[in-house]
Structure 1
Amino acid sequence: MTLSTPTRPDRADARWTIALWGLLFVLAGNMLIDALEVSVALVALPSVGDDLGLATVELQWLVSGFACGFGGLLLFGGRLVAIRGRRPVYLAALLVFAAASLAGALSDNAALLVATRFVKGFCAALTAPTGLAIIAATFAEGPARRRALSVYSLFGACGFSAGLLLSGALTELSWRWTFAFPAPVALALFAAALRLIPRDVPDDRAPRRYDAAGAATLTGATLLLLAALTTGAQRGWGAPLTVGAFVLAALLAAVFVRIELTSPEPLLRLDLLRHGPLLRSALGAGALNGSYLGLLLVATLQLQQRAGYSPWLTGLAFLPAAAPLALTALYSGRLVARFGPPRLIAAGAAAAPLGYALYPLGGSELSYTRQVLPTMLLLGAAFVLAFTAFHVQATSCVASADQAAAGGLYQTFVQLGAAVMTALCGALYPSGQRPVLYLITAVGLLGLVVALRGLVPGRAAHTAAR
């Protein structure tokens, strides 16, 4: 049977053709490999460190580098798609993603490996929002689009869990297979996308300025901050190189704000930060995602280097934290509709720091069932309760015309929160596990404080009214 270019289903033609399903699975499949990129790196960290002779403070770049490329360039990626069109950008990103995966797997140089992670993060910044835009353009609003978004979200939620299992299995052979296996997958998706993604014409109403200066200063400030944290752990917090990196990061951040305030077509609309629910969602989700990945970074090193777990057992050990979100993804919208975002966010934000507080502070002898599993289960509950609620609260508080911009701002905070927290945890880890866990718990509690502000009657009513 020949596949034709997908046609937009509407009320008159509710049938889903093979081509339409094919397009949806291409988009969802790419969302899956974007989501698993973080978990595959986490499980493989000790093996990479042993092979390349990298310290913990350097290893964290494999996680924070990807998150920095994703979060720092997410807004720029959306602008690039608006100007150049969905199809060419999406296809190019898949090819670059495949090339970066292969280059990273073959690399014996830490700097090159980190650079490929950053490039893959940028590719995810291009494909993640573009996939949603293609769904919005191809599937008519109503049951067809809701079904498509459900499948897309389900694949994304499953990606982290799939990455844990795949990385655990492949790292047993070599960490290089862990970094290489996305390459053929991305190429297969490219071959299908070349046939299935419809051609599009850029919207004449879209911004015409790339705002490359804004993208460069935001990403540069984040990279310099991460570099300062790394240098501080290695050379001392008062070393000239450390202080200089912090100062340059602050200067670039100030320049970024100045550019966005004066640009006629800014990447980041700072006026959106005046919406309380959006700001609370961005800060709360950044704290949850960052503290979560920080905890998994610590747990990976502890379980493999101190408790003798294999990569496969480590991946299995993390599943109780990741799998619940995948299992409940199709029902999360109903949960939000019934209880409302503020309540679910507060419950999730309370579960996370409780889990951090229960995690063992050190030692090589530990019982997984008594000491590690309760933390993983509480983290799984936190994401089930708060993950969808954060996004709904972030986008529902603004006008429909501003929801895409609000979603981009929200996702930027989520990714940059992960980048900064993993860098901080990597910098503190040489001082002992206890200081890192204190930091992770403190950030989790900060997220809880932010969430509780949303339960104030006036604020909650304002969110519901929106």
Structure 2
Amino acid sequence: MNPATNAQASLGPPVAGRWDLRLWGLLSVLAGNMLIDAIEVSAMIVALPSTGRDLGLPPTGSQWLITGFAVGFGGLTLFGGRLVELLGRRRVYLCALLGFAAASLAGAVSDEPVVLVAARVLKGFFAALTAPTGLAIIASAFPPGRDRDRAVSVYAFFGGAGFTAGLILSGLLTTVGWRWTFVFPAPVVLVLFAFAARLVPGDRPVPKAPRHFGVGGALALTGALLCLVQGIVSVPRHGWTDVRTTGPLGLAVLLTAALVAAERTAPRPLIRGRLLRNRTLVRSMAGAAALNGVNLGLLLILTTRLQDGLGWSPLRTALAFLPASAPLAVTALFSRRLIARYGTARLIALGALGPAAGGALCLRHPVPGSYVTDVLPTMLLLGAGFVLAFPALNTQATSRLTAVDRPAGVGLYQSAVQISAAVVPALAAALTAGRSDDRPALWLVTAVSLAGVVAGVRGLRARPGRTETPSTGE
């Protein structure tokens, strides 16, 4: 009996209220992998200055180690969803785990910046396969209702804790050597793979869909993002009129046009047009993109200033950032109660004010003199914004989607979040390159956060007083 059949037979039909050892093991594997995926989002933030100095990279070059992961995640999320649909959850999930481990090892042993960035892009792609697939596996393996909600809450908790864990681990490992931030996920993921091969159930038979993978659209979107980021970070060094700037930016425009053409003529487009007409989804995408972009943009600005400008160690910098990330991990298990009581619209609007206020506070003292007065308030406001708004945005995004549209809608939402994570830090790095004054970059992230405030206010006006309950993924 092959592992897929064995796992499915051993799991048997889920029974409400009864989790056997294999179900607990399955949830542990999925949550552990979600933890690693989330760690990767923050792992390079505090390691960035050390990596840049060691490789001789300016901020506009080293920022690729952050934005590369986001490009892979955001550009290929929709394509990853199509792969899962056509090839099956189990097969894609296991292959993605192996690919993630291989990319981690490749980045750890290379001195070539191109290889390091390619490894980060690939890790982003593999994370785009495992993160949503893990949630889909939970939906199929756990009974609907309280059991599934408990499993999803644990999964979300590990996702929320991952960003915090990534900061701490990166701070500790970079003290020894920045390469450890690349290599440490590999053995962990290989252990998870060994258990996943036994525990992840095979897919139940479904009618075969037309095998259109949408490779052209996926490559066009990813290529457009890569060219856009390269064009942005070329401006400080080469100016707006140099071909090394205009070339990538022009190619980004052409690839975007190719994406639109490919999607219009595709028998099964990756981006469904009707989803872009869903105002609730689009508003959620805008709010979540602003929140994530501002968070990573501010942390990029501050980590460079604290380490290169003030001589802070990576570990000290990581600890300084904890108030921005730890609150979400602590409150992840209670977010559903908060949403049920106050509704998504009010939480999103209130949470969007936190990053905006945090960015404005940083503008008072672009070069921090005191952590307590110049950095900590901004970190606390960022943390409060995530606690209030991020789970509510995730819930609101799918609240008006049918069961048929939900997977594609979630993929589109996640793409928007990660695209912002690529573009905003790239803009921040470009605006800080060669400058002793971070105000232009801080004005940028403040403006992006205000766009999130506008999206939150529009949500209040769209459905005043309405309470949206969280989806259980059924």
Normalising by structure 1, what TM-score? 0.96
- Per the TM alignment, residue 207 of structure 1 is displaced from its structure 2 partner at its CA by 4.7
Structure 2 residue matching 1:43: 3-state secondary structure: coil
Partner of 2:458: 453
Tell me the alpha carbon deviations over residues 280-336 of structure 1, each in whole angstroms, 9 at most, x when there is no partner. Answer: 100111011001100000011111111221111111000000000000001101111
Tell me the alpha carbon deviations over residues 44-100 of structure 1, each in whole angstroms, 9 at most, x when there is no partner. Answer: 001101110100000110000000000100010010011111111111111111111
- Per the TM alignment, residue 217 of structure 1 is displaced from its structure 2 partner at its CA by 0.7
Check the 8 A contact 2:368/2:374 in 1, yes or no.
no
Residue among 437, 440, 443 paired with 1:435 = 440
- Per the TM alignment, residue 271 of structure 1 is displaced from its structure 2 partner at its CA by 1.6
Structure 2 residue matching 1:454: 3-state secondary structure: helix
Tell me the alpha carbon deviations over residues 164-218 of structure 1, each in whole angstroms, 9 at most, x when there is no partner. Answer: 1111111100001111100101111011111111122563254521010110111
- Which shows bigger deviation, 224-233 or 57-66? 224-233
- Per the TM alignment, residue 152 of structure 1 is displaced from its structure 2 partner at its CA by 0.6
* Alignment of 1:194 onto 2:182: no
Residues 234/399 of structure 1: CA separation in 2 closer, same or farther (3 Å cut): same
Give the whole-Å Cα distance in 2 for the aligned partners of 1:202 and 1:183.
Answer: 32
Residue among 86, 90, 110 paired with 2:93 = 90
Listed as ranges, the gaps of 5+ residues in structure 1 are none
Tell me the alpha carbon deviations over residues 112-151 of structure 1, each in whole angstroms, 9 at most, x when there is no partner. Answer: 1000000000000111111111111111211221111111
Residue among 379, 382, 388 paired with 2:385 = 382
Residue among 313, 330, 333 paired with 1:327 = 330
Correspondences of 1:112-127 after superposition (within 5 Å): 112-127=115-130
Paired letter, 2:173: L
* Alignment of 1:100 onto 2:100: no
Partner of 1:7: 11
Residues 221/365 of structure 1: CA separation in 2 closer, same or farther (3 Å cut): closer
Partner of 1:286: 289
Count of paired positions:
462
Residue among 234, 238, 261 paired with 1:235 = 238
Give the whole-Å Cα distance in 2 for the aligned partners of 1:284 and 1:315.
Answer: 26
Check the 8 A contact 2:363/2:443 in 1, yes or no.
no
* Alignment of 1:59 onto 2:54: no
Paired letter, 2:269: P
Give the whole-Å Cα distance in 1 for the aligned partners of 2:325 and 2:169.
Answer: 14
- Which shows bigger deviation, 229-238 or 210-219? 229-238
Check the 8 A contact 1:228/1:245 in 2, yes or no.
yes
Partner of 1:218: 221
Check the 8 A contact 1:82/1:207 in 2, yes or no.
no
- Per the TM alignment, residue 442 of structure 1 is displaced from its structure 2 partner at its CA by 0.5
Structure 2 residue matching 1:54: 3-state secondary structure: coil
Give the whole-Å Cα distance in 2 for the aligned partners of 1:461 and 1:401.
Answer: 28
Check the 8 A contact 1:77/1:125 in 2, yes or no.
yes
Check the 8 A contact 1:278/1:395 in 2, yes or no.
yes
Check the 8 A contact 2:100/2:122 in 1, yes or no.
yes
Partner of 2:303: 300
Check the 8 A contact 1:307/1:366 in 2, yes or no.
no
Residue among 150, 157, 178 paired with 2:153 = 150
Give the whole-Å Cα distance in 2 for the aligned partners of 1:234 and 1:293.
Answer: 23
- Per the TM alignment, residue 102 of structure 1 is displaced from its structure 2 partner at its CA by 1.1
- Which shows bigger deviation, 57-66 or 401-410? 401-410
- Give the % identical residues: 56
- Per the TM alignment, residue 264 of structure 1 is displaced from its structure 2 partner at its CA by 2.1
* Alignment of 1:353 onto 2:356: yes
Partner of 2:374: 371
- Per the TM alignment, residue 463 of structure 1 is displaced from its structure 2 partner at its CA by 8.1
Partner of 1:79: 82
Give the whole-Å Cα distance in 1 for the aligned partners of 2:427 and 2:273.
Answer: 26
Structure 1 residue matching 2:319: 3-state secondary structure: helix
- Which shows bigger deviation, 354-363 or 44-53? 354-363
Give the whole-Å Cα distance in 2 for the aligned partners of 1:225 and 1:428.
Answer: 15
Give the whole-Å Cα distance in 2 for the aligned partners of 1:101 and 1:223.
Answer: 20
Residues 202/230 of structure 1: CA separation in 2 closer, same or farther (3 Å cut): farther
Listed as ranges, the gaps of 5+ residues in structure 2 are none
- Per the TM alignment, residue 461 of structure 1 is displaced from its structure 2 partner at its CA by 6.7
Residue among 251, 259, 279 paired with 2:262 = 259
Q: Which runs of 4+ in 1 moved over 3 A?
A: 8-11, 360-365, 458-466
* Alignment of 1:129 onto 2:128: no
- Which shows bigger deviation, 138-147 or 290-299? 138-147
- Per the TM alignment, residue 360 of structure 1 is displaced from its structure 2 partner at its CA by 5.1
Check the 8 A contact 2:234/2:245 in 1, yes or no.
yes
Give the whole-Å Cα distance in 2 for the aligned partners of 1:324 and 1:363.
Answer: 25
Structure 1 residue matching 2:179: 3-state secondary structure: helix
- Per the TM alignment, residue 269 of structure 1 is displaced from its structure 2 partner at its CA by 0.8
Residues 76/202 of structure 1: CA separation in 2 closer, same or farther (3 Å cut): farther
Give the whole-Å Cα distance in 1 for the aligned partners of 2:213 and 2:431.
Answer: 37
Give the whole-Å Cα distance in 1 for the aligned partners of 2:364 and 2:314.
Answer: 21
